[in-house]
Chains A and B, each alone.
Chain A
Amino acid sequence: MLRLEVRPQPSRAWSYASPVLALVVTVLIGIGLFMVLGKDPVRGLQVFFVEPVKSWYAVGELMVKATPLLIIGLGLAVCFRSNVWNIGAEGQFVIGAVCAGGVALMADKTTGPWILWAVLAAGVLGGMFWASLTAVLRDRFNANEILVSLMLVYVAVQVLNYLVYGPWKDPMGFNFPQTQTFEKAAQVPRLFTGSRVNMGLLLALAGVVAVWLYLFRTHSGFAQQVGGLAPAAARYAGFSSRRALWIALLLSGGMAGLAGALEVAGPIGQLTPHVPVGYGFAAIIVAFVGRLHPAGIVFSAVLMSMFYIGGELAQSRLGLPKAITGVFQGVLLFVLLACDTLIAYRVKWGSR
């Protein structure tokens, strides 16, 4: 009989190995799935793991997809480490995109490149504002942040719809719901010709460093994490839980907003009703699979992007249904959570 025995101390080795093991198990399940569906498993794995990195253009696309996941994931990592459950990052992403779009629409042919910074700043502030609604309701009224932030996602999407169907609709657009495409000055510059990779990637990487420094090298970051792990101890030490709440939400909201701004000022180039694609929710998985650690999140963001892109390719290359991406993502998270038990428990054979 297998049984679980509590380890005297959580195993550090396993806390790194667990995501790797989870990935391996997911891949094995994937192979099984491909075989059941009558597809060549090697080809299947190739489509998911090799094709997305086969050329520089492909790698660029991977980065384009991973950038928003990475940025939002970083913010969520700080949030979750503080035990604040911001499930509404998608809403903050949308409002950030809306604010950024609003500023971008004010540009005309003569505006200088400074407008780009205004656009991004607007995105950050927009996301922060939206998150602050959740923060204030939790702070003043004890309302559960999971539910409030989630409900606000639906509200945010309707706000976007209202604007693109109404006041912000492109007058030359035949009444279709979209804004004008943004002026060149307001668009995020690409890094290389021939690829869609843009400045957002640099911002994301800078964010990785910044969040790492914040969490592990500043007093404030330390206080956030203690507040999350041991609220009583935090209170004893004089760390304000209220401050922790606000920092967590404003930071993750701001980052989600930045990601939204980068998406609309980057690959999309305008505001449309199709801005929300679920990055805010996928980033939750990214944060977890990345162990809530900035370096880990880089890997998990890339991994998740591979699942997304692989899923698209699997349709045209292998004739697999789109739903397969969702299955893999869900399985990965489940398996990861199961493997995580190995951090706290040892598996032993034998009877009691």
Chain B
Amino acid sequence: MDATALLIASSLNAGTVLAIAALGLLINEKAGIVNLGAEGLMLCGALAGFAAVVHVGATGWGFLAGAAAGAVLSLVFGWLVIWLNTNQYATGLALSLFGAGFSAFAGIPYTQAKLPDQGMSAVPFLSELPFIGPALFRQHPMAYFAVFLTLALIWFLYRTRAGLVLRSVGESPESAHALGYPVRRIRLLAVVVGGALCGLAGAYVSTVYTPLWVEGMIAGKGWIALALTTFATWRPARVLLGAYLFGGLTMVQFHLQGMGVNVPSQVLTMLPYLATVVVLVLISRNPLWIRTNMPQSIGKPFYPGS
């Protein structure tokens, strides 16, 4: 029983990173922008966060720095795809590659640095409850933030006027424009906020999850976060669950190995990726389902003059 509780706890921890980044990408996609640069944003956020904590001390500054790095880079990205109407996929890829190269380069002085230890955090009373305590309430505050963010996003998107405007920009920017909304500025805001969240997720990895900096340390999580938004049919609650599922799969794979299960480890390593493909297929199978959930203008450029 104890091992299961711990498995759940680690899955939640692993999933938090993916959840925060994926929710940021969700915001982008709700406005109609696909940002393939998630990996680059997370890497730069990770470096910025780590560097900030090394120089200033408190983890909070690290998160702020990570979010800021993500915001600045996505500002450039946003300007290119929204104002200059460059191809979203190509520009996102460029951001990924640039982010990877730049963070590797600028991060060189930090590869030997270490951060002060964090220790484990736990919610005072709840963490003592049998089973549920260790399973759910011994997480870093970021994990609870991810849950809060999900709820906030649900409320924002589906219960506020601003959220409605955002969604309509994503569905049909032309109509929103005709109604007088500043479509491009709204999209840019979405891109910047989304990018900041990706940067924040990256900073969490480098300051809390594995407090060190090495080039390439995000190791593909940005791409998985991208898959998650589709996988979750662009609904925040499903994104969170999907993130936990994915995080869980990674941990389960190690658990199975440790138990001596006789499956080649490479097959176990493949599992999360195969699972993503399977779920993608299941979700996309029903074109109606996709059509009713996917923001229609995803990936398409918007020309205000037309």
Binding site for B on A (CB under 8 A): 4, 6, 85, 87, 137, 141-144, 146-148, 150-152, 154-155, 158-159, 161-162, 165-166, 281, 284-285, 288, 321-331, 333-334, 336-338, 340-341, 344-345
Residues B269 and A326 in contact, CB atoms below 8 Å apart: no
- The winner among B40, B95, B105, B284 for most chain A CB atoms within 10 A is B105
* Alpha-carbon distance between A117 and B191 when the two chains are bound, in angstroms: 50
CB of B209 closer than 8 Å to a CB of A: no
7 interchain residue pairs of minimum CB distance: A326-B101, A330-B98, A323-B104, A333-B94, A323-B105, A327-B101, A162-B266
Residues A326 and B270 in contact, CB atoms below 8 Å apart: no
* Alpha-carbon distance between A165 and B95 when the two chains are bound, in angstroms: 35
* Alpha-carbon distance between A152 and B280 when the two chains are bound, in angstroms: 12
Q: Known contacts A152-B273, A325-B101, A338-B84; can you find 11 more A-B pairs with CB under 8 A?
A: A143-B281, A150-B227, A159-B270, A323-B104, A324-B105, A327-B105, A329-B101, A330-B94, A330-B102, A334-B94, A341-B85
Residues B280 and A143 in contact, CB atoms below 8 Å apart: yes
* Alpha-carbon distance between A166 and B262 when the two chains are bound, in angstroms: 14
CB of B267 closer than 8 Å to a CB of A: yes
Residues of A within 8 A of B64 (CB): none
CB of B123 closer than 8 Å to a CB of A: no
Residues B84 and A147 in contact, CB atoms below 8 Å apart: no
If A147-B227, A334-B94, A337-B90 touch, whether A142 touches B220 (CB-CB below 8 Å) is no
* Residue in contact with A321 in the complex, picked from B105, B266, B270, CB distance below 8 Å: B105
Residues B101 and A141 in contact, CB atoms below 8 Å apart: no
Residues B281 and A137 in contact, CB atoms below 8 Å apart: yes
* Alpha-carbon distance between A41 and B226 when the two chains are bound, in angstroms: 39
Residues of B within 8 A of A334 (CB): 76, 80, 91, 94-95, 98
Residues A147 and B215 in contact, CB atoms below 8 Å apart: no
Residues B98 and A327 in contact, CB atoms below 8 Å apart: yes
Closest chain B CB from A122 CB (angstroms):
22
Residues B264 and A166 in contact, CB atoms below 8 Å apart: yes
* Alpha-carbon distance between A85 and B101 when the two chains are bound, in angstroms: 23
Residues B277 and A148 in contact, CB atoms below 8 Å apart: yes
* Residue in contact with B285 in the complex, picked from A142, A162, A165, A337, CB distance below 8 Å: A142
* Alpha-carbon distance between A288 and B294 when the two chains are bound, in angstroms: 27
* Residue in contact with A326 in the complex, picked from B36, B104, B281, CB distance below 8 Å: B104
Residues B89 and A85 in contact, CB atoms below 8 Å apart: yes
Binding site for A on B (CB under 8 A): 36, 40, 76, 80, 83-87, 89-91, 93-95, 97-102, 104-105, 108, 215, 220, 223, 226-227, 230, 264, 266-267, 269-270, 273-274, 276-277, 280-281, 283-285, 287, 290, 305
If A152-B277, A162-B264 touch, whether A337 touches B284 (CB-CB below 8 Å) is no
* Residue in contact with A337 in the complex, picked from B36, B83, B87, CB distance below 8 Å: B87
Residues A329 and B273 in contact, CB atoms below 8 Å apart: no
Residues of B within 8 A of A148 (CB): 277, 280-281
Residues A4 and B84 in contact, CB atoms below 8 Å apart: yes
* Alpha-carbon distance between A350 and B148 when the two chains are bound, in angstroms: 48
Residues of A within 8 A of B86 (CB): 337-338, 340-341
Residues of B within 8 A of A329 (CB): 97, 101
Residues B91 and A151 in contact, CB atoms below 8 Å apart: no
Residues B277 and A137 in contact, CB atoms below 8 Å apart: yes
Residues of B within 8 A of A327 (CB): 98, 101-102, 104-105
Residues B97 and A158 in contact, CB atoms below 8 Å apart: no
Could you jot down 28 A-B contacts, CB within 8 Å? A4-B84, A6-B305, A85-B89, A143-B283, A148-B281, A151-B273, A154-B220, A154-B270, A155-B270, A158-B266, A158-B267, A158-B270, A285-B93, A288-B90, A321-B104, A321-B105, A323-B105, A326-B100, A330-B98, A330-B99, A333-B93, A334-B76, A337-B86, A337-B91, A338-B80, A338-B84, A340-B86, A341-B84
* Alpha-carbon distance between A6 and B83 when the two chains are bound, in angstroms: 12
Residue of A nearest to B290 (CB): A142
Residues B280 and A147 in contact, CB atoms below 8 Å apart: yes
* Alpha-carbon distance between A322 and B215 when the two chains are bound, in angstroms: 11
If A141-B285, A143-B280 touch, whether A161 touches B266 (CB-CB below 8 Å) is yes
- The winner among B87, B94, B226 for most chain A CB atoms within 10 A is B94
* Residue in contact with B97 in the complex, picked from A87, A161, A330, A345, CB distance below 8 Å: A330
